[in-house]
Amino acid sequence: MLAKRIIPCLDIRDGQTVKGIHFEELRRVGDPVELGAKYAAQGADELVYLDISATQQGRRTFTDLVTRIAARIDIPFTVGGGISSVEDAGRLLEAGADKVTVNSAAVRNPALIDAIAARYGSQFVVAAIDARLVDGRRVVTTHGGTRPTDRELFTWARECVERGAGEILFTSMDHDGTKNGYPCEVFARLAELPVPIIASGGAGTVGHIAEVLTRGGADAALAASIFHYNEIPIPTLKRELHRAGIPVRL
């Protein structure tokens, strides 16, 4: 069995790592290169950097940052945020990113997934999907979970894979930030797709992560606050998962 992956997520605004709730009340939590290097040294398997800058200047700063990350960090890292064209993806991949993640722009223009996969390969494309439960239906949302769309989670995830996404990163917006655990039944259904599934949103304990990697069938767990604030250090998390019989790289 392939080892399960632990992936810290770093939100970046104008070149700095920030943390807040739905991008509000943001505060700096550390230099993104140094923080990434620390997580790599602690045993993180991959990193995800998400650019939440609102300006073009912020986007340019992010591209420069990706170059610095690539020069310093020796584990794979994915970048996303504001990628709306093949050119956007190419700029970040050429700066040294291992993969790109697309979200809102792909919902607006699904052919974006096809285009990036055709140019660079499916292994470089991660489809990030946010969804909420509305009247018994899991509705895909954009803009940090604030804008509902007419798309349904499982149908959209399947379409993303058919269009060339090599991984799915799913966040249940009903669970995000609650630290009450993941909707494992949802992840178990997503795990039926023929690509790796990354679980995001809801991690509060080692048990939550263990459950989504086993009962939920996820291939990786992504988290931010629990790592940024050292609530669950990566070495501790991996030791506990290993003791529970879950394959991880120690």
* Residue 138 domain-assigned (yes or no): no
* Residue 142 domain-assigned (yes or no): no
* HSE-CB for 223 with a 13 A CA cutoff: 30
Amino acid at 157: A
Predicted pLDDT at 23 = 46
> Do 138 and 186 form a contact (C-beta atoms < 8 A)?
yes
* Residue 144 domain-assigned (yes or no): no
pLDDT at 82 over 80: yes
Is 11 a known active-site residue?
yes
Of 11, 88, 176, 219, catalytic: 11
Region of poorest pLDDT, from 24-38, 62-76, 103-117:
24-38
Predicted pLDDT at 21 = 54
Query: Alpha carbon of 169 to those of 107, 127, 148, 166, 244: distances in Å?
Result: 14, 6, 18, 10, 24
Q: Are strands 125-134 and 197-200 parallel, antiparallel or unpaired?
A: unpaired
Rounded to an integer, the average pLDDT of 39-52 is 96
**CA 201 to CA 172: how far, in whole Å?**
6
pLDDT at 110 over 60: yes
Rounded to an integer, the average pLDDT of 169-191 is 92
- 158: containing domain: 5-128+154-243
* Residue 173 domain-assigned (yes or no): yes
Is 51 a known active-site residue?
no
* Residue 141 domain-assigned (yes or no): no
* Residue 229 domain-assigned (yes or no): yes
Residues sharing a CB contact under 8 Å with residue 159, sequence separation 6 or more, in sequence order: 110
Rounded to an integer, the average pLDDT of 34-42 is 97
Summarize pLDDT for 139-171 with one digit per residue, the tens: 999 987 889 999 999 999 999 999 999 999 999
Rounded to an integer, the average pLDDT of 33-59 is 91
* Residue 148 domain-assigned (yes or no): no
Rounded to an integer, the average pLDDT of 222-245 is 95
Among 57, 59, 39, which Cα is nearest to 48's? Answer: 39
pLDDT at 197 over 60: yes
Of 45, 88, 130, 219, catalytic: 130
Kindly report the CATH number assigned to the domain that includes residue 37: 3.20.20.70
Residue 54, both tokens: 């609102």
Number of domains in the chain: 1
Predicted pLDDT at 190 = 98
Region of poorest pLDDT, from 17-21, 92-96, 129-133:
17-21
Model confidence at 35, pLDDT cuts 50, 70, 90, reads very high
Residues sharing a CB contact under 8 Å with residue 164, sequence separation 6 or more, in sequence order: 113, 114, 116, 117, 118, 122, 125
* Residue 98 domain-assigned (yes or no): yes
